[in-house]
Structure 1
Amino acid sequence: MCQAKDPSAATVAANVAATERYDMDNRADFTDARRGLIAELPGLVYSDADPDKVVYDPEELAYLTEDAPCPDSVNPSLWRQSQLISLGGLYEVTKGIYQVRNNDIANLTVIEGDDGIVVVDCMAGVESAEQSMKMIREHITDKPVAAVIYTHTHIDHYGGVKGVVSADDVASGKVPIIAPGHQFDKYAIGENVVAGNAMARRSFYAFGGLLPKNPLGHITCGIGVAATKGPAVSYISPTDLITETGAKREIAGIEFEFLYAPDTEAPEEMHIWIPHLKALTCAENANHSLHNIQTLRGARTRDARNFARYLDETLERWGDEAQVHYGPHTWPVWGNDTITAFIESQRDTYKYIHDQALRLANKGYTPLEAAEVIELPEELGRNWANRGYHGTLHHDVRAVYTKELGMWDGDPVSLHPHPPVESARRFVEFAGADKILAEGERAIAAADYRWAAEILHNLVFAQPDNQRAKDLQADAYEQMGYQAEGPQWRGVFLSAALELRAGTQPPPYTTASRDSILAMPIDILFDFVSVHVIGEKAADIEVRMNLDFTDAGEQWTMWIRRGVLNARRGRSADALLNVAGPKALLVAVLLKPESADQLADAGEITLDGDRGQLSTLGGVLDEFDPAFNIVTP
């Protein structure tokens, strides 16, 4: 891997000056993050699939000790947050509630009942969840798992579920899985897998997954360590869906009350109140960080107004009673006054972003123009919990435009622009490569890094083999990363510098895990296959087949015509091929049609009709490169 460069004098000065914007003397969060520690993390987490592979090593973040001075290469606000994030172990939140924190990007929370435990969120990987449950068993209780609750549809909250409970116990009805929404499977699997290749590639940039873990590279992801490498990602579908506010469940002698909060941080999300413990979680709608209205990895744009709306409803319902607020990321908040102030501040931050973005939109500002001038009021902006450790104020303002007004910024020049390579080629022909290089060098020397990156982008896209241009742009991105308070901005800029200098890097894992694909509802499975169809190749073919998912008891017909794959329930009399078998094998047939003959010959599936349909299907399916270029054409 290429060597990162040191921060420039201008970056050092910028990071020193940044301390004046922050409430650096306020150390209360460190006291709270250590509160209730029962046991430190036991150490290395090994892969279930490969016992010699380390999935997580907490020592990789050993440089983030509380007394370590902030390096010149890190924004001091991000350094402080990362020191807090690196504090990991098993904690007592309050009597009966326990959390394992920071051996994964998300927390695992356990509520102990009379004769069982309820697990709220399961981390991203099976191995970290297994380690967490082992700590619960060693230090807290050996009571069985009575239920699992997913607070929302993101992978770091369900991916470790098979480290908590077996699929057989769920299928038998012994252990329910409770989750929000009418279509949890659709949003959980669809968001993470159908567009998963693009989302994963972008996430490795945003979360620094390709960077070394040191002060010149990865500095946590702001709400969790995000340091696991290729964990086993599992999935079990919910069995009990919460679709309205006020729904209650009694589990292991504990009453849970739910507030349904869709279209907030996730398409399906809910808050949870435990009356007898006076314990509240707003899931990821209230964090020790500003959240994303639009993620840099590329998930659906969220509704900032809904964040505020449901946080206020939570205060109305339980704000006078809550004594502890725990979350699936970061550390808890204790005391009614503190909890109320915390949720009110988060509520008002999202409302301010929403309202001010639309105020300026109504005055004719474009998204970038508004993002450059909107600042939070001091009371909100100096609150550590509102700092941009996940979302940032700048890209959240732009996201409000996307959500409310669409992708066009209103300027006709952006309505039908040339594609990036063509635009760059014309620009370079007009301005001259030598002149652009000279201006890039001048801008970098003057610490005008944003301009340097912008002008050199044209030369890199017009002449992708021009290593001098790529090296210069990498220098600019690197210093921008060192100055960024938002860890995702830091990750994007530093990963861009790495790609420019050393080429694309292989991803540590893909989101389309076996469990994720097999858990897809069948309609989403066909959506997943559809996005692999090469439209121009499929324009003149015709595929018509029936598929009988024998273990699911569902029959579907699928056809390709005019370059489009469609599917609907039921069988078609016009099908040219009938395929029958268990879902797992039909998934293989749809994604790898060349496997069908071997499966049929082995008697594992049946094929009745024109087997040439499978060859035709295979001939129009695309493959996705998980390491596609981002900063070069």
Structure 2
Amino acid sequence: MPVPLLLQGLSLALFGGFVATSLAAETPKPATALTASVNAAWNERLPFADQADFQAARRGLIEAFDGVIRDEDGKPAWDLPAYAFLNGKPAPDSVNPSLWRQAQLNNIAGLFQVSERLYQLRGMDLANMNVIEGDTGLIIVDPLLNQATAKAALELYYKHRPRKPVVAVIYTHAHVDHFGGVRGVVDEADVKAGKVRIYAPEGFFEHAISENVMAGPAMSRRAQYMYGAPLPRGERGQVDAGLGKSVPSAGTITLIRPTDVIAQPIERRRIDGIDIEFQLTPGTEAPAEMNLYFPQFRALCMAENAARVQHNILTLRGALVRDPKVWAGYLDQALQRYGDKSDVLFAQHHWPTWGRAEIQTFLADQRDMYAFINSQTLRLLNQGLTPMEIAEKLKTLPPRLANKWYTRDYYGSLSHNVRAVYQRYMGFYDGNPANLNPLPPVEAGQHYVAAMGGADKVLALARESFKQGDYRWVAQLTNHLVFAEPDNKAARELQADALEQLGYQSENATWRNAYLMGANELRNGVSRQPSVGSNAPDLVRSLTPAMFFDYLSVRIDAEKEAGEDLLINWSFSDLKEDYALTLRNGVLTHRDGVLHPQADVSVTMDKELLDRIALKETSFLKQLMVGNISMQGERLKLGRLLGGMDEPDGNFNIVTP
């Protein structure tokens, strides 16, 4: 009766489990004449003659990086040469010129000096790793997503600077691309010995582990669409992720528990001779996040609260909706507190901003952008507009904001961000009773197809709309037909063609990736290849028993277990912790720190052993047989419960039923 693998897709829910090789079996099609025309028109909409960002992105370059980083097993974890097609070329018809420009900027990678004693490793992972030179050692701000890329980045730094030891690591927030490479820059033994301190905002550890636990497998699958990791790199494939190029496709995600928690709204520390003022910003881009100010260098680190994109209020992979009002408030606080005291602003994505006036404008614009999204969505929902109506009405930011490159829709988008604000305040229901209990996709598709006169009629209408360039309608129309008749090859191909053109036209990298992933899977099916890149034993070990039991609860088929009642006492010898679990009405709940007076079954084991079972290093049954797990009572009932849990499907269908 093995305990099911807990973390299928969980450890990398933020970015998905990435398929090792490209999905593409069928060559993507070229841009249509209409798409080429739509994309060409962008050259007149935005100030492409402005080259200031390219100058800023190259400023301080010490050594460019354009190589491949391999993980501990020799697999490519980071492949920047795959994006060489972007270099020095104008945008092709199949890529929105604004996105092409952003993708070219994100190709500028290497070691950069930001200011005195402050260096940045950029383009070696999705995020940046910043190095501050202390009096005796190094302070690392955000050690990237995995061990391989972080180690390679630090080695590039050491190639040009003295090989001082790392004495401190700062996690700015609780997303995995900002802490997952920590073991690539420090040894946990040095942390335990007090040689290295690790700083993080209050709530970091809990959110780093739990944010994606409950819906991990679903988030992982949807993240494949958001980041387009399985897509081929190229003019008709994945070109960028908005925040950076992509995500590492291999390597180990690591985590070392913080030694020092920043808990006050404004907190000052002196670390190896460097003064740092921490500004906590909970509930902004991450549930636990903080900005950093370095008064000696007049340098401000904005974590991921201010990037050279419009960020997400709600990510396409799925997450809790963020609060743009709170976000704008903390940006204003940073502007007020540090705006006139900063000569350089850097962040955990993209390139820095230099100059006090430029920094103040940048922070004010970012503040106004999130405040606009919040206030204008509320204004329109109070007029009775529905989410899609608001998205159609608010097609652009105010002109002064819309013409700034750092407010463009490369990662978040105005369209899906205003719908997220609606969701935050009003929920899923738009107020129209017709939408209160609609038919599910398959049944709705069958009715729509029948009402329009059958599949041939739907296809004829869709083909005519495709010729007219009405790709959004084609995608909606053929979606009904695909769900009504999933084996209708003509419908799948026509929807794929429409999604492909929508992807080619999209300024938003994540929208492009989603459209092209949909087109690819409509043509070629869902890849069933095993995922790579989700090796994260540290995150598994960091699960508390309460988190473990919470995750078990969402794996139980309530209908199947509704008639089975079971009281379980579960004790962890090494932690000296007890838990009382109750299975009743198909629902598993737990009480922490107590035991049932009379349980049906009792389990005693070490938490360390549970971690090994979850990592598939051993099995529950084997450890029970050799005596490392003690069990008394209704062993068969517990065995049936654990052995019969649902296994998440990391490759579930999205564009087909």
* TM-score normalised by length of structure 1: 0.96
CA distance 1:549–1:176, change in 2 (3 Å):
farther
Aligned counterparts of 1:504 and 1:151: Cα–Cα separation in 2 = 36
Q: Which stretch shows the higher mean deviation, 249-258 or 465-474? A: 249-258
* 1:584 pairs with one of 608, 624, 630: 608
Deviates more, 1:438-447 or 1:235-244: 235-244
State yes or no: 1:331 paired with 2:351: yes
**Which of 415, 419, 440 is matched with 2:462 structurally?**
440
Q: Contact conserved, 1:209 with 1:508, CA < 8 A, in 2? A: no
1:44 aligns with 2:44: no
Q: Which residue in the other structure is 2:166 paired with?
A: 145
Is the contact made by 2:310 and 2:410 (CA closer than 8 Å) also made in structure 1? yes
- Identical residues among aligned pairs (%): 43
Deviation at 1:165, TM superposition (A): 1.6
2:368 is the alignment partner of 1:348: yes
Q: What is the aligned partner in structure 2 of residue 29 from structure 1?
A: 53
Residue range with higher mean Cα deviation, 74-83 or 372-381: 372-381
Give matches, 1:293-308, under 5 Å.
293-308=313-328
C-alpha distance in 2 between matches for 1:238 and 1:605: 31
Structure 1 residue identity aligned to 2:113: E
Q: Is the aligned partner of 1:628 residue 2:652?
A: yes
SS at match of 2:567: strand
1:414 to 435, 447, 463: 435
Q: How many residues align?
A: 629
**Aligned AA (1:492):** A
C-alpha deviations, 1:108-164, integer Å up to 9, x for none? Answer: 111110012111111111110010111222222322221111111111111111112
Question: Residue 276 of structure 1 aligns with which residue?
Answer: 296
SS in 2 for 1:546: strand
- After TM superposition, the structure 1 stretch with the greater mean CA deviation from structure 2, 506-515 or 347-356, is 506-515
Match of 1:618 in 2: 642
1:85-484 equivalences under 5 Å are 85-181=106-202, 183-374=203-394, 375-431=396-452, 432-484=454-506
Q: CA deviation at 1:584?
A: 3.4
RMSD, aligned α-carbons: 1.8
Cα deviation, residue 619, structure 1: 3.7
Q: Please tell me the residue identity of whatever aligns with 1:145.
A: V
TM-score scaled by length of structure 2: 0.93
2: CA distance, partners of 1:561 / 1:167: 42
- Separation in 2 of the partners of 1:369 and 1:510? 39
Matched with 1:544 is: 567
**Shift in Å, 1:273:** 0.8
Match of 1:523 in 2: 546
| Alignment check: 8 A CA contact 1:192 1:511 kept | no
Check conservation: 1:477, 1:493, Cα contact below 8 A: yes
Moved over 6 A (4+): 590-594
- Amino acid paired to 1:393: L
SS in structure 2 opposite 1:193? Answer: coil
Counterpart residue identity of residue 279, structure 1: A
Whole-angstrom CA distance in 2 between matches of 1:276 and 1:124: 29
* Cα distance change of structure 1 residues 317 and 554 upon mapping to structure 2, 3 Å threshold: same
1:20 — aligned with what?
Answer: 44
Q: Hey, what's the Cα distance between the residues in 2 that align with 1:276 and 1:18?
A: 43
Letter in 2 for 1:225: K
Amino acid across the alignment from 2:638:
L
Distance 2:464 2:500 in 1: 16
The residue type equivalent to 1:174 in the other structure is K
Contact between 2:250 and 2:534, CA under 8 Å: does it hold in 1?
A: no
CA distance in 2, matches of 1:74, 1:269: 34
User: Where do 5+ consecutive residues of structure 1 fail to align?
Assistant: none
- CA drift of 1:539 comes to 1.1
Cα deviation code 1:182-205 (max 9, x no counterpart): x32222222233311111111111
Could you tell me how far 1:612 is from its partner in structure 2?
1.9
Query: Match for 1:101: what amino acid?
Result: R
Q: Is the 8 A contact 1:193 1:511 kept in 2?
A: no
Q: Which has the higher contact order (CA 8 A, sep 6+)?
A: 2
Offset, 1:246: 1.4
Please tell me whether the aligned partners of residues 204 and 507 of structure 1 are also in contact (alpha carbons under 8 angstroms). no
Superposed displacement of residue 13, structure 1: 0.2
Measure, in 2, the Cα distance between the counterparts of 1:536 and 1:591.
28
Runs of at least 5 residues in structure 2 that lack an aligned partner in the other structure:
1-24
3-state secondary structure, aligned to 1:241: strand
> Residue 592 of structure 1: CA displacement?
8.2
Listed one character per residue, the Cα deviations across residues 537-588 of structure 1 (whole Å, up to 9, x for unaligned) are 2212233322233333422222322111112222333233333333232246
Cα pair 1:155 1:192 within 8 Å, conserved: no
CA distance in 1: counterparts of 2:556 and 2:536, whole angstroms: 20
Inter-partner Cα distance in structure 2 for 1:286 and 1:620: 46
Distance, in Å, in 2 between the alignment partners of 1:326 and 1:367 is 34
| Map of 2:19 onto structure 1 | none
